[in-house]
């Protein structure tokens, strides 16, 4: 035994070396033992677990890596759990989709084989498809579950496995933990039924695309305006991903005619050759699209991540373009939705919208103005979907979003949907143009009406076993030693979602938080600032969300007030010693 390797890690390594794994896998393990014990430890120190986005990890050999065995165990465990939960169903059905990543088609096919070997009817998309379309397909076919193979916006070495329940939403407790329990019961790969039944696997494709797009078209609130603004120029890039076909289809269905792609990025490629990271939250990912937009004098730039559930946008500002962050796009989108619902006489008092706890409070202010009920939920669209399910038949969901560039409009998809979001953002922009406003001007108008909200995110990456321990130590320290003042303003409330307690600092009074337990801390200051701290559920990082605000009396004051708020955020960052 290598003295550097923990006995528990070594036991897992031995299990793989002595088990029914293929010889290439075993040889890779031997090579790591000899040449790279640190990599070996990271590959085996834990089993991949479902977080806010499901199973996600670096591709490679080991229990902490995405490979045919970890995907196989996850699928077999999930299948076993579905059998337990749906014993009364004669034919359990699942839908499967995948993104453009390396090994995604392979992992999707392996999963389809395992489900079919367990007697399930499988609806397998014939090629890459957006994650939201998978959510739609689950509901359309009346499935009990489904999966999509994707690592969303992560770098090319990652892949992932998102598992869905019968409502088309990602799994929430107790289902997610119960699946893990079932997976952990699989102690030998011989328990995974890899030999599929082709008779139970049905390929699906264009017919579902058309039905999905027709449903999206029903979301449109201003078709007459689009008809007048049909020459509105849009540059769209899928960043080598699944939006390449469906987003232009949706835009055309809405009535837009001037849609331009970025030729180099329309190429489906899991290596994402034109970007460092295929993440529309990062400005380099939109660089080529903005260059194209400047060349053709376009009005709007949009980019989706590889599985087309997140969208980043760039809007006109003077002669150039400026990127909007996820909070800003959410504010514009929700403002448009609520305003149009009211103008169209659709608000009856039974409507609601939802945002996550780390998303801008501006959305709640907008909902208040239009007398629409709003809810805060934990990070992850599965919690928004959970509320939709809870109120189905009683209340109507208008829309929701989160700061990390994800939005959902309507309830027929139960996950963030960049295809629908692109169409509705374009419609919002066309409505703005009809009224003499670019999206940037509209945003400033919103700030003038509701206060200028400025948000900022810091992510600190700590990889591997030691990194996970360091992140937990940081959370422990913030719990035990909370700051008294942030940005010159005293703390008034601390919310700890792990203990489910809200503390009023001035009175010492504690009140319950009626949300599921989660490792999240929030600090609220006297001047309305909000600081949230949470480890990521899908990546080896800890995230700090900063939200500050101030009145904006005149449009001309925007730059000055924005600069002042930026300075306040910097002061808070120093106070937290980050």
State both tokens at 54. Answer: 């499901």
How many beta carbons lie within 10 A of that of residue 301, not counting itself? 27
**122 pairs with which residues across the strands?**
94, 201
C-beta of residue 572 within 8 angstroms of C-beta of residue 529:
yes
State both tokens at 165. Answer: 């329940």
**550 pairs with which residues across the strands?**
452
Distance CA(531)–CA(523), nearest Å, equals 5
Distance CA(200)–CA(569), nearest Å, equals 56
Q: Is 190 a catalytic residue?
A: no
Strands (E), 3-59: 55-58
Distances from the Cα of 451 to the Cα of 129, 374, 438, angstroms: 39, 19, 19
Distance CA(49)–CA(177), nearest Å, equals 9
Residue 163: which of 52, 64, 67 has the closest Cα?
52
State both tokens at 128. Answer: 């890459």
Kindly give, in sequence order, each residue whose CB lies less than 8 Å from that of residue 299, ignoring residues fewer than 6 positions away. Answer: 232, 233, 234, 316, 429, 433, 438
Q: Which of 116, 135, 152, 421 is catalytic?
A: 152
Strands (E), 372-446: 373-377, 396-402, 406-409
Kindly give, in sequence order, each residue whose CB lies less than 8 Å from that of residue 305, ignoring residues fewer than 6 positions away. Answer: 152, 153, 239, 241, 278, 279, 280, 311, 405, 418
Active site residue ranges:
152
């Amino acid at each position: 035994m290598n003295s550097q390797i923990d006995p528990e890690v070594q036991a897992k390594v031995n299990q793989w070396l002595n088990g029914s794994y293929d010889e290439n896998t075993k040889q890779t393990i031997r090579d790591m033992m000899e040449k790279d014990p640190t990599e070996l430890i990271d590959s085996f120190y834990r089993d991949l677990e479902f977080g806010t986005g499901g199973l996600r990890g670096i591709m490679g050999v080991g229990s902490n890596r995405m490979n045919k065995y970890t995907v196989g165990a996850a699928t077999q465990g999930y299948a076993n759990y579905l059998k337990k939960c749906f014993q009364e169903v004669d034919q359990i059905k699942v839908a499967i989709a995948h993104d453009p990543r390396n090994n995604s088609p392979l992992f999707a096919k392996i999963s389809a084989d395992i489900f079919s070997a367990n007697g399930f009817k499988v609806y397998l998309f014939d090629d890459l498809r957006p994650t939201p379309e998978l959510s739609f397909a689950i509901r359309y076919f009346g499935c009990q579950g489904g999966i999509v193979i994707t690592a969303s916006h992560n770098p090319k070495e990652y892949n992932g496995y998102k598992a869905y329940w019968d409502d088309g939403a990602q799994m929430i407790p107790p289902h997610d933990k119960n699946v893990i329990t079932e997976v952990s019961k699989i102690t030998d790969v011989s328990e995974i039924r890899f030999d599929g039944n082709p008779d139970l696997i049905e390929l699906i494709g264009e017919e579902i695309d058309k039905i999905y797009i027709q449903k999206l078209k029903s979301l449109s609130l201003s078709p007459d305006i689009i008809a007048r603004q049909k020459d509105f120029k849009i540059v769209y890039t899928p960043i080598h991903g699944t939006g390449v076909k469906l987003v232009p289809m949706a835009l055309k269905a809405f009535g837009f005619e001037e849609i331009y792609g970025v030729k180099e990025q329309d190429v489906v490629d899991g290596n994402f050759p034109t970007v460092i990271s295929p993440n529309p939250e990062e400005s380099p990912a939109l660089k080529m699209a903005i260059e194209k937009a400047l060349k053709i004098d376009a009005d709007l730039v949009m980019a989706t991540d590889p599985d087309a559930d997140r969208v980043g946008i760039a809007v006109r500002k003077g002669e150039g373009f400026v990127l909007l962050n996820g909070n800003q796009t959410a504010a514009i989108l929700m403002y448009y939705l609520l305003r149009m619902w009211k103008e169209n006489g659709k608000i009856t008092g039974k409507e609601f919208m939802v945002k996550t706890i780390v998303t801008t409070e501006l959305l709640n202010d907008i909902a208040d103005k239009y007398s629409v009920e709003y809810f805060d939920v934990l990070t992850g669209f599965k919690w928004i979907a959970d509320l939709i399910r809870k109120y189905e038949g009683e209340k109507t969901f208008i829309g929701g979003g989160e700061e990390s560039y994800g939005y959902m409009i309507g309830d027929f998809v139960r996950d963030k949907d960049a295809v629908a979001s692109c169409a509705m953002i374009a419609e919002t922009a066309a409505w703005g143009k009809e009224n003499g406003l670019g999206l940037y001007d509209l945003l400033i108008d919103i700030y003038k009406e509701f206060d200028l909200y400025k948000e900022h995110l810091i992510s600190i990456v700590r990889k591997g076993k030691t990194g996970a321990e360091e992140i937990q130590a940081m959370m422990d320290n913030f719990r035990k030693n909370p700051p008294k003042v942030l940005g010159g303003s005293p703390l008034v409330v601390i919310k700890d979602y792990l203990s489910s307690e809200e503390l009023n600092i001035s009175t010492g009074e504690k009140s319950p938080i009626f949300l599921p337990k989660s490792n999240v801390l929030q600090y609220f200051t006297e001047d309305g600032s909000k600081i949230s701290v949470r480890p990521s559920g899908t990546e080896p990082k800890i995230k700090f969300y900063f939200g500050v605000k101030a009145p904006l009396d005149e449009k001309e004051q925007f730059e000055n007030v924005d600069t002042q708020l930026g300075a306040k955020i910097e002061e808070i960052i120093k106070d937290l010693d980050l």
